[in-house]
Each structure stands twice: as C-alpha cells, then as structure tokens.
Structure 1
Amino acid sequence: MKTSEFLELLKENTNKSLVFEYQPGALVGANYHITEVKNISIDAVDCGAGTDAWKETIIQLWESPSEIGKRDYMSAYKALAILNKVDKIKPMEKNVEVKFEYSNATFHTAQLFVLGHQIKDDTVLFHLGVEKTDCKAKETCGVPETSAQTMETTCAPDSGCC
C-alpha cells in the first residue's frame, strides 16, 4: 500500500478506531503509540550484481507499558493529526510503500507490509504481515524458482552469485 493510500483511508474514516493486526488473529494493543515516522531510501545491489533503489515510509508502533489494559484504540483522526504534523517537519514521500515497524514481548521486531484492510462499523483494521526474503537475481544466477534446497546447491560460494 502506498503512503498516500494509507493517509486517504485515514481521512475518509476519521471517526473510526485505527487497529492493526500484526499476524493472523493478533492485534497490536490499544495502548500503542506512533513513535517514529521514517523516510527511508534504499540503494541496493543484489547477489547477481544488479542495482536497485527505492524509497519507503516506515511508521513505528510501540505499546506503552504504562497503558496496558487500555481498551480504546487510537482514532484515525488522531493518527492523521500526528502524521500531518510529521509531514510539516519532514515531508513524507506519498507515492512509496508504507510499512509498519512493530514488536512486543512475543513477536520479534519486524517491518510489516500492509496485506489488506477492512472497514467495519467503528473500526479500520489493517492486516499486516511479513514477506519472505528472496533472490532477486534468479535468472542471472540460474536459480530455478522451485525450492530453497536447489538454491543452496546452485549458489555455492564459488558460483559467482548469491
């Protein structure tokens, strides 16, 4: 999901609670805060010597230990106010992927993609998830897309790839 799409959903649903599902059936606690917004520029080289560059917006969610048990989620209106304030200080790239950085005591720190969203009653629910790492140079390196075991044998240390 693009940052602009996320912001537009907030604008269209200001009176609703903003809820995040970080893995199936597990919600970020109502005690969450938006603690950081990052404008990220990635300049990368893959294992086949291909170069790439892109930008992302990372919104960090943090659960406040002093508010454990809180029942009311942040409203889309409040989140939008926070993000608009950030945008005035450090303008966000709007046409780039938005991700959410999150962790808790039982879930490792991860940058989560928006897999989808639902709007029902008084809630905007964003379904988040991880994407698996992948070899971007399969064709260059001659790696079939079949299995990780094939990749291990094809991308040996002296193969010139991976």
Structure 2
Amino acid sequence: MNAIDKTNSTDISLGHLLDVLAVAPDAPLVFSYDGNPVRPGYHVTEVKAGMFSALDCGANPEAWSEIFVQLWDIDEDGRTHMPAGKFAAIIRKVSDHVQLEPTAKLTFEVSDGERPMALYCASAPRLVAGTFEVSLAARPASCKPRDRWLAEAKSSCCGRASTSSKCCA
C-alpha cells in the first residue's frame, strides 16, 4: 500500500510542537480556535494515537499515522493557562504507555463540554510577549484525488492542466 501525505499546509507534527515549546517551558500555552483563545482552565483530557488505512473516492489506497489531542475548554479554579512544559510533560506521560510517532499528523479535538467536539489542525506555535500562541483551524473534508490533481496542475510547466480530474472513479 502506498502511503500518501495527508497533511495540510497548516498541519504540524507533535514532534515539531514539542521542539518549539522546549524553548520556553514556563511560557503559558494558549490555543485559539473559532477566533477565541481557550479559557485558562483548559484540560488535556486525552491523547491517542492511531494508524489508519483507507481507500479514497478515487480508489487510491492511503495509510497514515495520526495523534489526537483532546482539549476541554473550561475555566475553573481560577487557574492560568497551562505552561508549555506541563503540556510537554503530559505528552511524555502518555508516551510511557502509548506509542506516539513524533512525525504523525496532529489533530486537536476541542469542546467546551456543551458544543460537540470539533476537529482542528494546528499552526506552528509562536512565542509572543512571553506566551506561546497556537492557532487551531477547522479541519475540512476534502477529495484527495482532486487535491492531488490540483497540486499537479499548479506545478505543471505551463500552469494549465486538463479540465477533468481523477475524482470519484
């Protein structure tokens, strides 16, 4: 089975996230989604890893590994945002029990406990005024054959490709 790169341009890996956070472990780690930062009392409620095999709508086999970090966006006990080092310690604790591939696609599952959980991909963390900021963007559905076709058309020497795609064969 051929492995297809399923990452979006905004995706980062868990290894990249942890490498950047190691620069300033005491800095608060603030995720933002839907235009708002998570509340200071947020929890990392679950970290899970999976190996996936699939067949896309063009009958192309795909395989990838993915790590899901679940965030519960709450504010309780008057806490401040979690330090980057504490987030890294949680991940290290999980890796004692679950094999986490540092290069795996990273997906965040976020809910405030009332709205349904939603899936997000993360941008690279930025250290701004002593705080790590990580923007989470909704993870959209896509047609992988169409995405590959568009990427090939964009990179062709003349910038034009045929008008038919290899989608949904």
Shorter-normalised TM range:
0.7 to 0.9
Alignment correspondent of 1:138: 146
Q: Which amino acid in the other structure matches residue 13 of structure 1?
A: A
Q: 1:53 to 1:106 in 2, by over 3 A?
A: same
Bigger helix fraction = 1
Alignment correspondent of 1:151: none
Three-state SS of the structure 1 residue aligned to 2:125 is strand
Does 1:61 find its partner at 2:71? yes
Q: 1:43 to 1:129 in 2, by over 3 A?
A: same
Q: CA RMSD in A?
A: 2.7
Q: How does 1:11-90 map to 2 (within 5 A)?
A: 11-24=22-35, 26-64=36-74, 67=76, 70-90=78-98
Shift of 1:117: 2.8
Does 1:102 find its partner at 2:113? no
8 Å contact from structure 2 (residues 48, 98) kept in 1: no
Equivalent residue pairs, number: 143
Stretches of structure 1 lacking an aligned partner (at least 5 in a row):
146-153, 155-159
Shift of 1:94: 0.5
Shift of 1:13: 1.5
Counterparts of 1:106 and 1:36 in 2: how far apart (Å)?
17
Shift of 1:139: 8.8
Alignment correspondent of 1:124: 132
Bigger strand fraction = 1
Does 1:161 find its partner at 2:168? yes
TM-score, normalised on structure 2?
0.74
Q: 1:52 to 1:73 in 2, by over 3 A?
A: same
Counterparts of 1:41 and 1:47 in 2: how far apart (Å)?
19
TM-score, normalised on structure 1?
0.77
Q: 1:17 to 1:30 in 2, by over 3 A?
A: same
Q: Which amino acid in the other structure matches residue 30 of structure 1?
A: P
Stretches of structure 2 lacking an aligned partner (at least 5 in a row):
1-11, 154-163
Counterparts of 1:161 and 1:63 in 2: how far apart (Å)?
38
Shift of 1:71: 5.0
Q: Which amino acid in the other structure matches residue 2 of structure 1?
A: S
Counterparts of 1:140 and 1:56 in 2: how far apart (Å)?
20
Three-state SS of the structure 1 residue aligned to 2:22 is helix
Shift of 1:12: 1.2
Shift of 1:23: 2.1
